[in-house]
Amino acid sequence: METTEFINNFASQFDDTDASEFTLETRFRELDEWSSLNALAILNMIGKKYSVFLKPDEMKPVQTVRELYDLVQSKIK
C-alpha cells in the first residue's frame, strides 16, 4: 500500500479541504468540515480500496492520517 495513494484516497473523501493540505500528519478530526459523513466515507473507502473492513470503534482512537494508514496496513499483513 502506497502512502501517497492512501493520502489521495483519504483526501478525496473531503469536499472543502484542499487535497494538497493532507499529509500523514494531518489531524483530520480537527478539520472544519469533519463530520460523521466523512467518517463513514473513509470507512467505506478503506473497505473498497483495501478490502479492510474497519469497525467505527476501531477508528475512534485514530487521530492522524498516519495512524489510520498504520492501522489499515496492520490489517492487510
Partner 1 sequence: MNPFSLTGKTILVTGASSGIGRATAISCSQMGATLIITARNEPRLSETFRMLEGQHHVQICADLIFQDELDTLIEQLPKLDGIVNVAGIAKPLVLSLTDKEDVNEILQINMLVPIHLTRLVLQNKKLNKGASLIYISSINGNNCAYIGSSVYAASKSALNGFMKAVALELAPRGIRANCINPGMIDTDLLNSGSIGQEELEKDRMKYPLKRYGKPEEVANAVVYLLSDATKWMTGSSLLLDGGYTLQ
**Residues binding partner 1 (CB under 8 A):** 13, 36-37, 40-41, 43-45, 48, 55-57, 60
Helices (H) and strands (E) in the chain, counts: 4, 0
Q: Which is nearer to partner 1, 20 or 36 (CB)?
A: 36
Q: Which is nearer to partner 1, 3 or 44 (CB)?
A: 44
Q: Which is nearer to partner 1, 3 or 47 (CB)?
A: 47
* Distance separating alpha carbons of residues 61 and 49, to the nearest angstrom: 22
CA R_g for the chain: 11
